Each structure stands twice: as structure tokens, then as C-alpha cells.
Amino acid sequence: MGRAYLDSCILIYLIEGAPRIRESVRELMKTKMEEGIEFCFSDLTRLETKVGPLKSKDSQLLALYDRFFLRPSLMRIAPAPNVFDTAALLRAESNLKTPDALHLAFAIEGGCDEFWTNDLHLEKAAGERLKIVLPVE
């Protein structure tokens, strides 16, 4: 059984994306869950996905995100000092922005094998530590 970290952009596609994109992400997640993959997120993911609905005062969309993050099938990776140390190292090595470095660090320190994103530039920074999965083309 492996773990896959969900970057904020993937969750935004899953919840707010065009129907074709939403369905594509859902189907791939369903297949991976059937294969035993456990999906993970961090509080940074929660923060980033809530900004849009808060700005637009969209309480229904905000509630959708809140319900999504309460799913028992998802694992929350808690912030720990080693996450921030790893993020600092990733930033120093690859000039990533802090949020991107933190997302990768949460995935690495959370024992994830895959990092689901639509940001191809993260592949170089992840190196051999994580497989970058681009579920949206």
C-alpha cells in the first residue's frame, strides 16, 4: 500500500474544475484507492483551497471543501519540525517558493510515494524522493 499527496491544485480541479476534469481526477483516484493507495493532504492544502471560497463568500463551496477534508479515507499529515527542515533544504537546493517546498516536504516526511499536482516544475525538486503524477492533462 502506497501513499499519494494531493497538491492544492488537484483538489481545486476535483471540486471546482470543469466536469470532464473533475470526472477524470475522480476516476483516477478511485482506481488508485482500489489498488491500495492512501491519499494524503496537509493543513497547507486546506488553507490554499479555502482562499477562493472565502474571497468570493461562497459558503456552499467552502462547506464542500470542509466535508472533503473530513473524509475518513484521507490522511492528514501533521506539521512537524522535520517538515520545515526538509522544506528549507528543498528551497535552498531548487529555488522553490515556500508553499511548493512545504507541500513537497509534507509529502516526503509523510511517507508518500507519489505527489499529485499539475505543476511540472516540482518534478526536478522532488528528484528521486517522490514520483510526480500529473492527473490533469
Domains identified in the chain and CATH numbers: 3-133 (3.40.50.1010)
Q: What is the pLDDT of residues 30-64, one digit of tens each?
A: 999 999 999 999 999 999 999 999 999 999 999 99
Q: Is the pLDDT of residue 90 over 90?
A: yes
Q: What is the pLDDT of residues 109-123, one digit of tens each?
A: 999 999 999 888 898
| Residue 47 · residue 59 · CB < 8 Å | no
